[in-house]
Structure 1
Amino acid sequence: MPDFPAPDEVAEASRTLGLGATVPELHGSLCGWLAGGGEDTAAWPARVLADAGVATPAPGSALDRLRKATAAQLGDGEFTFQLLLGADDMPLRERAQGLFDWCRSFLGGFGLAAGAQPPLSEEGAEALQDLARLAGASVEDIDEDDEDEDALSELEEFVRVAVLLLHGDCVLGPRHRRSLN
């Protein structure tokens, strides 16, 4: 399975292409696009940012590797999918804001790919609503203690599972139904 590029590589690639998006925003948009049934294409930044003028990342570049690793994780069935939020040594406040930014960007990419009426299960619809609530959240008083660290870890795990559920509803379920016909 392809490895994620390091967050600083993704940030530099974003700057080089003039994307103006953070690592969590790029990964969230990409995940939303793929989970919503969007095409796994090398030109993904133009698609997920809804800007046809965005250049296609070079083969083997950090953004190309990010796409390949993300698509592989979403489709592997082994629950290896991970969120790319930035460097692990960032302060808790920044990581929490990164998660909220990731969720907001996920919703944008998901909406572009899945449209207004995606084929969601009841659980998928609930997961999408929960992601929308997280996308609207803001970082309040964080004490940088173990309790807040644990809470952030739980939210990250929830988001990870919600994304896999939505990907199952919009991509794997329809693909399975087509193979049965």
Structure 2
Amino acid sequence: MSDNRLPDWNEVAQAADRLALASTPAELHGALCGWLAAGGADAPDWLAQVLANPDLPAPQPGDALDRLHGASLAQLDDPALGFELLLPETDVLARAEALFAWCRGFLGGFGLAVQGKALSDEGQEALRDLASLASAQVAENDDGSDEQALVEIEEYLRMAVLLLHADCVLAPRHRQRLH
């Protein structure tokens, strides 16, 4: 399995810029995680599939996007629940905006790969919550006291993504082993 550490935000941003991607690192990671959580193919051309652009090249082995893919896949399958969101190490407002963008990316990637898979009631609720966060906006008058709230939302998102991954990937994988 791959290294579980996500590449640095700036490395992912530079790789996305080189390919002229319209996605921020948060949106790109969210889309990738949505794709993987819904059971999307783990393939070398994942970038083209996740961003629904067949003209995009496959990431080069070992580059930031390849490492982002490998780490995300490993984190989603981590029995110790070591899944993380790729967010910038900046002020609370920038982190909140990136978190909302991450959610928008997740919904796009998830929607491309889910293909009618049945979700548990908890999974459906988690998806609704992700949609609410995806449409949220940062209040400009924030005084920084929302740091704890942001940490709690990020933790909730981690668990929601792992729940959706369990519904769409782990449960079918487990059922296959039983048969």
TM-score, normalisation: structure 1? 0.94
User: Which residue does 2:119 correspond to in 1?
Assistant: 120
Question: 1:91 corresponds to which letter in structure 2?
Answer: D
Instruction: Tell me the amino acid that sits aligned with residue 77 of structure 1.
Output: P
Is 1:135 matched with 2:134? Answer: yes
Shift in alpha-carbon separation, 1:73–1:126, aligned structure 2, 3 A: same
Q: Match for 1:7 among 6, 9, 14?
A: 9
1:45 corresponding residue in structure 2: 47
Aligned residue type for 1:22: T
Cα offset, 1:141, TM superposition: 3.6
Residue 176 (structure 1) aligned to one of 165, 174, 177: 174
Amino acid at match of 2:87: L
**1:42 Cα shift?**
2.2
Q: Deviations over 1:9-34 (max 9, x none)?
A: 00000011111210100000000000
**Cα distance in structure 2, aligned partners of 1:134 and 1:163:** 13
- Secondary structure of 2:102's match? helix
User: Could you state the TM-score of these two structures normalised by the residue count of structure 2?
Assistant: 0.95
Following superposition, the deviation at residue 77 of structure 1 comes to 1.4
Which structure 1 residue ranges, 5 or more long, are not aligned? none
CA distance in 2 between partners of 1:166 and 1:144 (Å): 33
Deviates more, 1:57-66 or 1:39-48: 39-48
Q: Tell me what 2:158 maps to.
A: 160
* Segment of structure 1 superposing worse, 67-76 or 117-126: 117-126
Q: Secondary structure at the match of 1:163?
A: helix
Structure 2, unmatched stretches of 5+, are none
For the residue of structure 2 that corresponds to 1:95, the secondary structure is helix
**Contact conserved, 1:43 with 1:55, CA < 8 A, in 2?**
yes
TM alignment of 1:60-139, pairs within 5 A: 60-86=62-88, 88=89, 90-115=90-115, 117-139=116-138
Alpha-carbon distance in structure 2 between the residues aligned to 1:107 and 1:32: 6
* Partner SS for 2:40: coil
SS in 1 for 2:101: helix
Classify the secondary structure of the residue corresponding to 2:151. Answer: helix
**Greater Cα shift, 6-15 or 37-46:** 37-46
Q: Give the Cα–Cα distance (whole angstroms) in 1 for the partners of residues 109 and 154 of structure 2.
A: 18
Percent identical pairs in the alignment equals 54
Q: How big is each residue's C-alpha offset from its partner over 1:109-134, in whole Å with a ceiling of 9 and x where there is no partner?
A: 0010102x322111001000000000
Asked whether the 8 Å contact 1:93–1:144 carries over to 2, the reply is no
Q: What is the alpha-carbon distance in structure 1 between the residues aligned to residue 158 and residue 95 of structure 2?
A: 15
Equivalenced residue count is 177
